[in-house]
Structure 1
Amino acid sequence: MIRTGEEYRESIRDGREVWIGGERVKDVTSHPAFKPIVDVRARIYDMAHDEQHQDVMSYVEEETNSRNAIGLRLPHERQDWEDKRVAVDTVMKDIGGVVIRVGDETIGEVWSLYDGKEVLDAVDPQFTRNIEKHISRALRADPFHVSGNTDPKGDRSKRPQDQDPDMLLHVVKETDAGIVVRGAKYETAAAYANQAFVKPTIANWGDDALSDYAVGFIMDLGAKGLRHICRSGFAGRGTAKDYPLANRFDEIDALVIFDNVLIPWEDVLFYRHTKAATFIRSTLHRYSAFPFVQRVLTLADMMIGTALHNVRQTGLDKQQAVREKLATLACWRETINAHLTASIALAEKSPAGLLMPNQSLLYTGRVQAISKLPEMMHLARELCGGQICLTPDSSAFDDPELAPWLAKYYSVNENWVAEDRRKLLAYARDLLNSDYAGHRLTFELFAQSPPFAHLNAVYNNFDFSGPLDFVRRSADLSDRVMGVK
């Protein structure tokens, strides 16, 4: 049943080995770098218990008569996706920003593996039973579930066997209790999450049917032998008044070291089966791309609102050139919205009988959202003007000697006084121009694989038969050009 925020906090006080800035973290729930984002995740848990949000964030399962999280519910009909979309929007509005790795966007990767039951059954039906068990557990135990994909990789011109084998996560030993793995993965939120779906990043296995690198499993992120080495955080680098987003929504990434970690057999989802590994790489985002792209829609709203406030305060919104830039931002925003909406309206049945967003429309929407994000961020910078990189910090506005001067030069009119203007410019800087903004942009470009893989997903899911057949008929070509006998 759905957990409370405090139950979540208690679940990650498990003695896990977390390092940041050369310091061993005693408690991720209270450490300054982690506390803000842990509090956000805790708030999401608590929202499912609030009278105001309970029916948006959760549902009552008929089988058990217990409340479960909407985000973890298996999608069987269009309303399930509509409900998930409303839940995500509700969270973003409640917290006043965007968080990406909180669980609802990564559980879909396990659903993708659930769609490969036939592939797994050909190797060992136990793997399918393990997947079904973990899907059920995720639904009812409500863990914070993340994803582990990217390895350090090392020299990519060499096979992993021809260099340090630990550059890619692999199995080093089988025991009666399970498999023992070594290597490392980069994972966002691993240091403060409960579990991760860990799987390989290799796409081309050649003729290698069996490989110790072809392994996927559910990982307890507090397990013995795991070491979380985190990047430095943005929270605390400046005051919350000057960096209102970085100090609330920084999602910490970690290099997670697997130092001979035991994975119980019941947590192994596939092993030494390159066909299963290839399947999951090709279908990994068929569900998770939806909540991921939906979050870019919120980013678009944040950029549009920030830019429009900035031009309206000085009356620049009356200029045609400014309106054209705002309209360009709006077109990008509505393009994302249209793809999300259409992917639900034209949703498709998956191989296992789930309902997945229309794959061609979803992946095309992802390309539009991510490929244009850098351009749209710069357009928003133009509309905000150079003051987002010139404005003094809040301490100057608070200083008795400087405050009158800053009030004079930063007040525009009776509606836009200096303090509101400072807040807006600080918000714009953190959204578009700060270290945190640059980090988030890079994260968006690669969090669900790099842009070239996004286009490859479109190629693999777009139905080319219609255009081909139209031209064959229109040009009066023979059936042979279509390969028709």
Structure 2
Amino acid sequence: MIRTGEEYKASIRDSRAVYMNGERIKDVTAHPSFQPLIDIRARIYDLQHDPATRHLMTYREDGEVHAINNKLPFSQQDWWDKRRATDTVLEDIGGVVTRVGDETVGEMWSLFDGQDVLNEVDPQFSKNIRNHIFKVLHTDPFHVSANTDPKGDRSKAPQDQDPDMLLHVVKETDAGIIVRGAKYETAAAYANQAFTKPTIANWGDAAYSDYAVGFICDLSSPGLKFICRTGFAGRAPIDDYPLSNRFDEVDTLVIFDNVLIPWENVLFYRHTKAAVFIRATLHRYSAFAFVQRNLKLADMLIGAALFNVRQTGLEKQQAVQEKLSRLAIYREGINAHLTAAIALPERSPGGLMMPNQSLLYTGRVLACSQLHEMMHIARELCGGQICVTPDKAAFDDAETGPWLDKFYTINDQWVADDRRRLLAFARDLLNSDYAGHRLTFQLFAQSAPFAHLAAVYRNFDWDGPLDFVRRSAGLSRKVLDAKGGRTGDRAVSQWFGQVRDAAE
């Protein structure tokens, strides 16, 4: 039951309390800071109906049409379809947006895999998970994610500081739980619901905690307040900042002021083991769509840099080619990890098909940890003119325009207007406030770098290299029992096993 763009817009014209720059926003769909992303999200809904793209964006099951990116992944083909659908969106809008649903809905599938763990708390929670996954398929909401808190003093346990610093349950009622605290949620001010879960907390030895809670929050619920950072859209003309004005995803501090969460929306509660499990497995699906954005961002870096060196005749210089090659290696490294993660999938504990976890998480580290370096290489290739070129108004001015036209026209192929557009694009991609914000967002959006590396450590197949060295060095098999490697039925483990069996 896929929605249209207008139906989505109507769903967020409610009484929610949204604030920006000290002003209460009456209608987010009409506000210049929110409208560009709301229009993009509406366009994604409309792509599901467009005759030219609906076969790429949707699938039919039991007589109903659903969004491909909401589909539970049971096969390898499901992941090829999801990758193609996301590419369709990014190509259509001409840029990169991250928190539009296809990434964040995947976090729910990790809960689907963790039903056995959650059943230790209350079997009702497993039922709630299944119901909400079904609801997402059949109502097609704009679903976002609430991860991080205002933090507070992380050397202390949550209960040993201001109790509201981290989101927690203050009361149980027949209708549900009452929660207080705050969460940062990108796109919350213009979304329908959020999967809200605990941050990486210091649980100590506690088996139970009122802070160990996860739920689906209806973002039109009474008691919520949305305090948004100032948007980049509208600060300067779109001709001078084409990315800032179109693709800024507004981040929001969501205040939970005694908000009722109905029991049917509670996914886990109090059990710290459940909270730890969810944090450890949260991105086993959603990381794919997140890393796929970096691939498109790498294309933008390459395109901006290559156009700049070509128009100034520098492409044939060896030093320039080497820098372009480094950008290409970065791009293809991400591409290889995404492709291999689908080509060597793994069956999850809940019976879903996961992208290969080791390859997916190492690809995420590659994409995020090298992004700043790749941006700097692109800056070098674009040259200093991206930071000194006048804005469009100077090119249009009767007095200054002819001079700029003279000095910015290179040849018949590169006239002043095209060169100005390219330099403005590169400036916004690499040097603007938006560019710096996006770099930080990509670094921390799913989790901090140390958590990225921890995910690699938990999912890499240590047994294969250990067994190879054991045999090469002539060690006995019992040395492998001293400390076990990664456990589980993994595709790469199976491959190592086949090689070992053939060798022996």
Which TM-score tier does this pair reach, normalised by the shorter chain? over 0.9
Partner of 2:213 in structure 1?
Answer: 215
AA of the residue aligned to 1:178:
G
Partner of 1:22 in structure 2?
Answer: 22
In structure 1, the residue corresponding to 2:164 is in which secondary structure? helix
Query: How many angstroms apart in 2 are the aligned matches of 1:160 and 1:211?
Result: 9
Deviation at 1:134, TM superposition (A): 0.2
AA of the residue aligned to 2:276:
T
AA of the residue aligned to 1:198:
T
Deviation at 1:199, TM superposition (A): 0.3
Partner of 2:32 in structure 1?
Answer: 32
Q: Deviations over 1:105-152 (max 9, x none)?
A: 001111001100111112211000000000000011000000001011
Matches within 5 A, 1:339-354: 339-354=337-352
Matches within 5 A, 1:308-327: 308-327=306-325
Partner of 2:43 in structure 1?
Answer: 43
AA of the residue aligned to 2:287:
A
Partner of 1:378 in structure 2?
Answer: 376
Q: Is the 8 A contact 1:204 1:278 kept in 2?
A: no
Query: How many angstroms apart in 2 are the aligned matches of 1:271 and 1:411?
Result: 64
Q: Deviations over 1:318-368 (max 9, x none)?
A: 111001100100000000000000000000000000000000000000011
Q: Deviations over 1:273-307 (max 9, x none)?
A: 11110110000000000000001000000110010
Query: How many angstroms apart in 2 are the aligned matches of 1:462 and 1:378?
Result: 30
Partner of 1:336 in structure 2?
Answer: 334
In structure 2, the residue corresponding to 1:167 is in which secondary structure? coil
Q: CA RMSD in A?
A: 0.9
Partner of 1:7 in structure 2?
Answer: 7
Deviation at 1:174, TM superposition (A): 0.2
AA of the residue aligned to 1:105:
E
Q: Taking structure 1 as reference, are residues 181 and 324 closer, same or farther at Cα in structure 2, changes over 3 Å only?
A: same
Q: Deviations over 1:381-405 (max 9, x none)?
A: 0000000000000000000111110
Query: How many angstroms apart in 1 are the aligned matches of 2:348 and 2:479?
Result: 30
Deviation at 1:205, TM superposition (A): 2.1
Query: How many angstroms apart in 2 are the aligned matches of 1:483 and 1:328?
Result: 42
Q: Deviations over 1:243-300 (max 9, x none)?
A: 0000000000000000000000000000111111011000000000000000100000
Counterpart of 1:171 (choices 150, 164, 169) is: 169
Partner of 1:92 in structure 2?
Answer: 90
Partner of 2:244 in structure 1?
Answer: 246
In structure 1, the residue corresponding to 2:30 is in which secondary structure? coil
Q: Is the 8 A contact 2:213 2:269 kept in 1?
A: yes
AA of the residue aligned to 1:93:
E
AA of the residue aligned to 2:53:
H
Partner of 1:411 in structure 2?
Answer: 409
Deviation at 1:473, TM superposition (A): 1.5
Q: Is the 8 A contact 2:156 2:202 kept in 1?
A: no
Q: Is the 8 A contact 2:346 2:355 kept in 1?
A: yes
AA of the residue aligned to 2:8:
Y
Q: Deviations over 1:44-65 (max 9, x none)?
A: 000101000001011111x2x1
In structure 2, the residue corresponding to 1:316 is in which secondary structure? coil
Provide TM-score, normalisation by structure 2. 0.95
Deviation at 1:203, TM superposition (A): 4.5
User: Size of the alignment, in residue pairs?
Assistant: 483
How many percent identity over aligned positions? 73
Matches within 5 A, 1:104-119: 104-119=102-117
Q: Deviations over 1:172-226 (max 9, x none)?
A: 0000000000000001000000000000013542221111001000000111000
Q: Is the 8 A contact 1:203 1:281 kept in 2?
A: no
Q: Identify unmatched segments of 5+ residues in structure 2.
A: 484-504
Counterpart of 1:149 (choices 147, 150, 156) is: 147
Q: Is the 8 A contact 1:147 1:198 kept in 2?
A: yes
Partner of 1:193 in structure 2?
Answer: 191
Partner of 1:183 in structure 2?
Answer: 181
Provide TM-score, normalisation by structure 1. 0.99
